[in-house]
Amino acid sequence: MHLTVEQTYPADVAAVAAMLADAEFVRWRAARPDAGAASQVDVTGDPASGFTVSLRRTLPTDLIPVQLRQLVGEHLEVRQAEAWEPEREGRQVGTVAVEIAGAPVRMTGSLLLEPLPDGGTRQVYDGEVRATVPVFSGTVEEAAGGAVRRTLEAEERAGREWLARN
């Protein structure tokens, strides 16, 4: 299943990249009530030379349909890794991988930060959600895609709040 999630921020690309590469921000956004419980956060590098963000968190299974909860247990352990290249020509690109531990589901794709005409920034997650569950793969992919979308929407809200406060 193809998944594209667009986020916008009222700050320039450099400010948004600096936020995304800030370990304090990543820990803060991962600790918010709508983001689950973070058990591991690692950030290395910086926007000028490229950076990586690794995040492991536990989410409640209420993000997925009731009929699929028995496949994953009481909680979803989500691992997210982003690798951002150095800024080029006012844009930053990268790759993302999201896995749900204990479930045969994975999202891989690309990341983009680009300027908007109003001075803001657009962030785009564009990828494929794949499940390797015989018979139910389409249903599992849709459920996982919905969970990823809701998580990224929560991250956008967190980023907007962070930028407004800082």
CA distances from 38 to 2, 12, 85 (A): 26, 28, 25
Range of the domain at 35: 2-165
CA distances from 161 to 19, 87, 121 (A): 11, 24, 15
Tokens of 152: 């990224």
Give the pTM: 0.83
Domain count, the chain: 1
- What CATH number is associated with residue 133? 3.30.530.20
> What is the full per-residue pLDDT of the chain (166 aa) written as tens digits?
899 999 999 999 999 999 999 999 998 888 777 656 667 899 999 999 999 999 988 766 665 556 555 665 666 778 899 999 999 999 999 999 988 776 777 899 999 999 999 999 999 999 998 877 665 667 767 777 777 788 788 889 999 999 999 8
CA distance 110 to 94: 6
The predicted pLDDT at position 78 comes to 81
Tokens of 25: 């921000």
